[in-house]
A = this chain, B = another copy of it.
């Protein structure tokens, strides 16, 4: 393969396969494929796979229709099949030609049964294993290229939400869905793909995974926006909670507690700490303020190519925080029937061990009136 940021990833992967006694790893379109060779095609009914085998050059098997795209990856060996021919017969020939063993075969966890069943028929005596859990330990630690993508992705998300919030009282009378449509529009213009959002007004904000709907934005209500998209394959995920019109004293108090919990979590997000320390620090603030029972989820999740990946910032997670790790810090307080507040940033542990809070959009209470 061509020398690139992907070379050490494939080398590390091959070392893991060798150590685990796995002869080869068939990777179909998935986040693992994006990680290992940068190719971000959406899978379809035409078999396409990256084949890794320790001691062998990696190659891609694809329909000839995809020639132009696969040659843009750092992979340099290809074998193509045309429509009407059997890709699995070709795969078998190619494996034999290269002398790749197939006693133990790994496949990526998202490979469709359409292909998995063909492979188990092709190699009926092989032991098949899920290879994705072996990629995870590599994906936890982002390299420079990955960190730069995440920094860009979060900066774009900041701009998109700011553009929407700058419209101020324009939103009064609009629905959650209207807000989502405009936010998705801004994200798309900025080059963020696959925009998605939970937009929740008032009591809806007390439901952590509320389905954005037709509730109207009104004076006297809060507006919670949890949203993200992808940039060059990497995810962004942030939450801000605003208030239209003067908030109640209770809302102000709860907001302040969540903000302090968010800051305490980020303060604990230090290289050398355990991931659960982030959860503990944020949760302590909320518990001390008497709202412990209303903080009903973990404080954060790993993030990278997938929006949720790797170890959580949750109770019992003893993984040590190290350079290259990226995760969210998103404490919340949810008062059923009243309102909810969540403040979420992504944090990244830089190469020098310092902590970077990637989202820069102000998080002090903003009242729109």
Contact = CB atoms under 8 A, between A and B. Distances in A.
Interface in A294-335: none
Given A180-B188, A184-B184, A109 B120 contact: no
Interface stretch (A13-21, A125-133, A151-159, A258-266): A125-133
A120 B128 contact: yes
Interface stretch (A110-118, A221-229, A244-252, A272-280): A110-118
A249 to B, nearest CB: 33
Interface in A124-142: 128-130, 132
A157 B59 CA distance: 41
B111 A112 contact: yes
**Range, interface on chain A:** 20 to 34
Given A185-B182, A188-B184, A129 B114 contact: no
A188 B109 CA distance: 32
A120 B111 CA distance: 14
Contacts of A107: 113, 117
A118 to B, nearest CB: 9
Residue picked from A111, A132, A182, most chain B C-beta under 10 Å: A111
25 contacts: A107-B113, A107-B117, A108-B113, A109-B112, A109-B113, A109-B114, A110-B112, A110-B113, A110-B114, A111-B116, A113-B113, A113-B116, A113-B128, A113-B130, A116-B116, A116-B117, A120-B128, A177-B188, A177-B189, A177-B191, A181-B185, A182-B185, A184-B184, A184-B188, A185-B185
